[in-house]
Amino acid sequence: MSPVPKGQGFQFVTNETQVPQGVEQQDCYFFKAGEIAAANGMPNEPINLHRVQISQRDGSHHMNIFRVRTITGLDPANGTFQPNANGSGPCFNSANWADWPLLANTQQDGTIDWTYPEGVANVIQPDEWLMLQTHFVNASTQKTPQDYGRVWVNFWSIPKEEVKYELGTIFATKQSVRVCTKNPTPTFDGTCHINNKTPVQIIGANGHFHSRGKEFRIYAWDGSSLERPPESERFYTSETWDDPPMKRSPELDLTLPPGSGVWYTCSYEWLPPPVGCQALNEFDKKKYSTPDRLLDCCYTFGPQVDQNEHCNAFIYYYPKQDDVNCF
């Protein structure tokens, strides 16, 4: 992918990551946007991200970019490149970025190119740390055909005079998922209350789960109802776990009234685990302290594709709100 012309933004490119057969490689890259932007002729001012281009090698499970906030087990002071493999290490532990706002994401191989609506920008401070996380899988349920992965990201900026609305993002995870032999087709629901005083526009959405996932749905929600919204309120559907669609503007431009939010739903079907039931039970005991009598070859929330499950929702909207709560 060609780099951004000087003065219009910047490009970030990851290393070529070796992903041998049987390996899940998840790497975390830290960088200060202002430093890379300055090297490409940008002034020392906030970067008003208005367009993002992302290109990935085949085999990518996901690519997320977060804005670094509270430091726990994952710290840029420990290096700008922190590679981890097979579920072990701080780059695999989602608790380490629990309050880091999402900046951009994709789960699709190839290239995406998304320009936000006129006047909408995600404002990045020049001294702000960003973390780009790549996850390539070369295991039983997903392959990296060239045995290595790489990601290119172009950040395009607009002048501050053109910014009318700041983009907001939501990264929601339903961590109570359990897909077991005695409950093989469960469905789990989560909600995010935006607490908006004025209407907001939803302009991007995608969902993420692993190979037991059958259907991911996202609905407009009134912010108070305890029952799942009617199907007429559904605005996103995915039935493909390894290449889920991303809906984005101009196709997606949904108005949510004040006080509302989103409701998301993940449905699953249990499958025999490639790693065997013993591995699932051991993870369940270690991670969730599940007693032996309740072990049931359950896929539980965790990072590894062959033995864990996810139920993650990604939402992009404007104008940004400061009191979003997800449950």
Tens of pLDDT, residue by residue over 103-157, are 999 987 778 999 999 999 999 999 999 999 998 888 777 878 778 789 999 999 9
Mean pLDDT value across the chain? 95
Q: Structure tokens of 173?
A: 């995870």
pLDDT at 60 over 80: no
Sheet holding 178-179, edge to edge: 178-179, 299-301, 308-309
DSSP 8-state secondary structure symbol assigned to residue 209? -
Domains in the chain: ranges and CATH = 9-165 (2.60.120), 168-271+306-326 (2.60.120.230)
pLDDT at 258 over 80: yes
Q: Check residue 285 and give its pLDDT.
A: 97
Write out pLDDT tens, residues 158-168.
999 999 999 99
CA–CA separation, 322 and 194 (whole Å): 8
Q: Check residue 148 and give its pLDDT.
A: 79
DSSP 8-state secondary structure symbol assigned to residue 88? B
Instruction: Please tell me which residue, 93 or 215, carries the higher pLDDT value.
Output: 215
Q: Check residue 146 and give its pLDDT.
A: 77
Burial level of 235, CB count in 10 A (0-12/13-18/19+)? middle
CA–CA separation, 160 and 151 (whole Å): 28
Give residue 57's pLDDT band: very low, low, confident or very high (50, 70, 90).
Answer: confident
Q: What is the mean pLDDT of residues 210-220?
A: 98
Q: Report whether 133 contacts 91 (CB < 8 A).
A: yes
Burial level of 123, CB count in 10 A (0-12/13-18/19+)? middle
Q: Check residue 225 and give its pLDDT.
A: 96
Give residue 322's pLDDT band: very low, low, confident or very high (50, 70, 90).
Answer: very high
Instruction: Please tell me which residue, 135 or 317, carries the higher pLDDT value.
Output: 317
Q: Check residue 290 and give its pLDDT.
A: 97
Q: Report whether 48 contacts 163 (CB < 8 A).
A: yes
Instruction: Please tell me which residue, 140 or 68, carries the higher pLDDT value.
Output: 68
Q: What is the mean pLDDT of residues 27-47?
A: 96
Give residue 242's pLDDT band: very low, low, confident or very high (50, 70, 90).
Answer: confident
CA–CA separation, 103 and 93 (whole Å): 19
pLDDT at 58 over 80: no
Q: What is the mean pLDDT of residues 155-182?
A: 98
Q: Check residue 144 and give its pLDDT.
A: 80
